[in-house]
Amino acid sequence: MNAPKYVYFFEEGDGSMKELLGGKGAGLAEMTRAGLPVPEGFIITTQACLRFYDAQRRFPEGLDEQLAQAMRDLEGRIGKRFGDPSDPLLVSVRSGARVSMPGMMDTILNLGLNDATVAGLATLTNNERFAWDAYRRFITMFSSVVLDVDKEHFEELIEERKRELGVKNDPELDADSWKALVERFKSVVREQAKREFPQDVGEQLHLAIQAVFDSWNSKRAIDYRRFNKISDDWGTAVSVVQMVFGNMGDDSGTGVAFTRDPNTGENVLFGEYLVNAQGEDVVAGIRTPQKIADLERSQPAIYKQFQEIAHRLERHYREMQDLEFTVERGKLFMLQTRTGKRSAEAAVKIAIDLVNEGLIDKKTAVGRVSAQSLDQLFHAKIDTNEHFDVAAHGLNASPGAAAGQIVFTADDAVAWKEAGKPTILVRVETTPDDVHGMIAARGVLTAKGGATSHAAVVARGMGKPCVAGCDALQIDRRNKTLSLNGSTLHEGDWLTIDGTTGNVVVGQLQLIDAPTALPAWLSTFLSWADEVRRMQVWANADTPEDARKARELGAQGIGLCRTEHMFMQQDRLPIVQQMILANTPDARAQALTKLLPFQREDFVGILEAMAGYPVTIRLLDPPLHEFLPSLEELLVETTELRLTKGVESPEYLAKETMLKRVQQLHEQNPMLGLRVCRLGILYPEIYAMQVRAIFEAACELKKRGVDARPEVMIPGVGPAEEMRATHDAAKAVADEVLAHHETTLAYHIGTMIELPRACVVADDLARTAQFFSFGTNDLTQTTYGYSRDDAEATFIPVYLDKKILKDDPFQVLDRRGVGSLMREAVKLGREARPDIKIGICGEHGGEPSSVAFCDSLGLDYVSCSPYRVPIARLAAAQATLGALK
């Protein structure tokens, strides 16, 4: 049986083959086909990576033979031999998944160097310093990636040598210095890896490819995929590319550039360039680079050629490109083109500009922008009323402001977050191993690196504020201190960073939330989404302020107004408690009469704010004990009062009365106890007061000419009899109020579907209910049998880590389980009542993939928190277009 084809030379592929060749490989293939200056090379497919894992981390059958033949062909094309001491072929070995995962997987440069070939390279190039510089780089990268030797062992030796010679930068070290350091590097390998540094170039290549395959399942790559919802089943391709050298002198260099500004979307070439350097120097932030525009002054012909290629590639792909390039002795080589990572603001503005430039249409533009990324547009900013001194300034690498306590390691950022402490992760430069800490931290500050460094690219993708390349920052990792222009700060001290301006401030500044209104450019873009989406987008709002904000952000109704939040306000809580402590229906009714004006005022405000749109008001949902002090608290207080005031004191008697009521209401499992519609059935006067308040508010508004559209939602029904009993009681009160005010008003009474039983008897419920709204938070709890608060704090993180769960079901809707129940409810409900309105009001309504699933079920609307309304608008449009599934 013949092995599959695992190896493709660049000219054998094209840009459409990302799934097989990875994004980097497909880009190299497409540039080769277009005749651009690309080094020779070939790609090992993602299929080989997956088969590698299937074979328990061994190369699949046939790969060794195809690899050997490809290296022979590569030697023939270039005219050099792999391992030849006199004229050696050197290659880079690079990862490349089908989507960009910047820095998450491994790359090795200068592969093929050993004690013999380094001498040949020096002679061939007549540049001994360059050859030994390349060799020390190779030893460092290979040892770190393949042999698991910490890079800091090598960096410390370099810093020691620079101090001895009184120089600051790596390019100031001469050939003899690098020679001596190479010997010391090999000793480090011997000590740390317990083996000699491999001299056989075939072994180097085999181990390097294996390490790149292994990096697909590294912790940092898994963390990144989980955060960005990338499948674990794709694997990575491996590109083996002829080395070109940017570290051969002042006419050489390396750079990374974007065809448009990835922060703002401005149509200008944006990037960085380092003279006499290799690619990892830019990406890793080892040296702070120059702006790409500086290349125009130093090498104008190269800059012009690069500018033309950048423009050509953007026009070809009809998308902003992320480019890597090297200049070797005045000759330009393109090493990568891929769709560029960008901030949410840039993504929207670039999409709009590409439409205006005639490169794409509106529907394509709508499909291009990640719906989830719009959350970045609502980041905190430093309060304009704050007066502060800027302690230092770095590059504005990822927008938004963050305040937190200083930590110096990724692990500490995670631990502090688990302890409830906000942090700023402070590093010399971040590496892919820091990703879990970047996820945990509020923001990232680095001493080195530029706008295309690892920290910048990853933080932008996460929507985290980042300030990079802060030259004034000096870090003492051992003592966990930092210095900013002479000020010493310790772990746990507060910093505020502004990734929009690059400012670093000592202390905790007050931050303000996102803009109060949608910017014009975002309104334009979302209007394009509104033109194509089928589902409506509503919002969850409990106050007039929330309702107004939701309407500003494009909500077409309120899908959930929680009345219990209104009860919790300090001026009402004593009355609520009086109502709960009442022993008779009459006493309860007296307390409810006092609450009625408050509730009516609340509903007036929300209905008026949403005039012309439906407002779905859920009747009281939680158990009554939630409005009373805790049992433990009352036991302590009554004991103290008995000892200090005596059992006859009014204070003690009042607390004792409350304690007894709390004990009466105490339940073993409150989640499944006396709550939701069961409250309204046992205490009908509570629901009656709320319904009366709703319709008195609506009548008042109608008299003022306001188009109020109330919808009454009964929570947590199971049997159809619960639906009928609560529906009939609510309708009787509503009709009585309307009759009293001698007016008519269109309204609906429906239910929140949050129990599995409700889903499977939805046809029975729909014969009474006029709408369904899936309460997916509780439906997930009752389907899984998980307590959300307990599960997310204990075993769900472990389940995610062990891949027992693919996603947290409280964050991403469980299609197979919860989704199947929803599908059944929709089918049964519409069979019984074809015109029934069905939506969702759990927070899943603002999560893009969950929105897409709701669209597939044919729901009429999704409802989410106000600031997630723009996300849901875009996600609903992408679901209609088939761009989100």
- Whole-prediction pTM: 0.78
Q: Name all contacts of 165-168 with Cβ < 8 Å and 24+ positions apart.
A: none
Question: Is 841 among the residues known to form the active site?
Answer: yes
Which residues make Cβ contacts (< 8 Å) with residue 332, sequence separation at least 6? 37, 302, 305, 306, 309, 325, 326
Beta carbons of 866 and 541 less than 8 angstroms apart: yes
What pLDDT does 620 receive? Answer: 92
**pLDDT digits 0-9 by tens, 592-618:** 999 999 999 999 999 999 999 999 999
Average pLDDT, the chain: 91
Beta carbons of 831 and 765 less than 8 angstroms apart: no
| Stretch (H or E) spanning 504 | strand 503-506
CA 457/CA 460 separation, integer angstroms: 5
What pLDDT does 282 receive? Answer: 63
Q: Name all contacts of 653-658 with Cβ < 8 Å and 24+ positions apart.
A: 657/581, 658/577, 658/581, 658/628, 658/629, 658/634
Tell me which of 153, 379, 436, 454 is the catalytic residue: 454
CA 230/CA 512 separation, integer angstroms: 32
Share of the chain above pLDDT 70, in %: 97
Residue with tokens 């003592």: 479
| Stretch (H or E) spanning 331 | strand 331-339
Displacement of CA 48 from its chain's centroid (Å): 29
Among the residue ranges 41-50, 198-207, 283-292, 571-580, the one predicted with the least confidence is 283-292
What's the distance, Cα to Cα, between the start and end of the chain in Å?
Answer: 37
**pLDDT digits 0-9 by tens, 836-847:** 999 999 879 999
As given in the structure block, the two tokens for residue 775 are 């309460």
Which range, 286-290, 500-504, 870-874, is most confident? 870-874
Residue with tokens 């590097």: 185
pLDDT confidence band for 197 (50 / 70 / 90): very high
**Phi, psi for residue 564 in degrees, rounded to 5:** -65, -30
What pLDDT does 618 receive? Answer: 96
Q: Which of 684, 683, 708 is nearest to 697 (CA)?
A: 708
- For the chain, how many residues are written? 885
**pLDDT digits 0-9 by tens, 619-638:** 999 888 777 777 888 888 88
Question: Is 677 among the residues known to form the active site?
Answer: no
CA 814/CA 803 separation, integer angstroms: 15
Across the range 503-509, mean pLDDT stands at 95
CA 21/CA 36 separation, integer angstroms: 19
Which residues make Cβ contacts (< 8 Å) with residue 433, sequence separation at least 6? 219, 220, 410
Q: Which amino acid is at 223?
A: D
Tell me which of 561, 841, 854, 864 is the catalytic residue: 841
**pLDDT digits 0-9 by tens, 747-780:** 999 999 999 999 999 999 999 999 999 999 899 9
589, pLDDT greater than 60: yes
Counting Cβ atoms within 10 Å, is residue 13 exposed (0-12), middle (13-18) or buried (19+)? buried
CA distances from 39 to 9, 223, 365 (A): 11, 32, 33
184, pLDDT greater than 70: yes
In DSSP terms, 93 is beta-bridged to: 108, 240
CA 780/CA 843 separation, integer angstroms: 11
Buried b vs exposed e over 197-212: b needs ≥16 C-beta within 10 Å?
bbeebeebbbbbbbbb
Residue with tokens 């009184």: 166
517, pLDDT greater than 70: yes
In DSSP terms, 326 is beta-bridged to: 254, 333
**pLDDT digits 0-9 by tens, 78-132:** 999 999 999 999 999 999 999 888 778 889 999 999 999 999 999 988 899 999 9
Beta carbons of 52 and 58 less than 8 angstroms apart: yes
CA distances from 324 to 35, 133, 242, 474, 647 (A): 17, 21, 15, 29, 80
CA 438/CA 873 separation, integer angstroms: 29
Taking residue 690's Cβ as centre, other Cβ atoms within 10 Å add up to 26
CA distances from 302 to 32, 244, 290 (A): 19, 16, 15
Q: Which amino acid is at 43?
A: I
423, pLDDT greater than 80: yes
CA angle 821–824–826, rounded 5-degree value: 110
CA 817/CA 808 separation, integer angstroms: 13
167, pLDDT greater than 70: yes
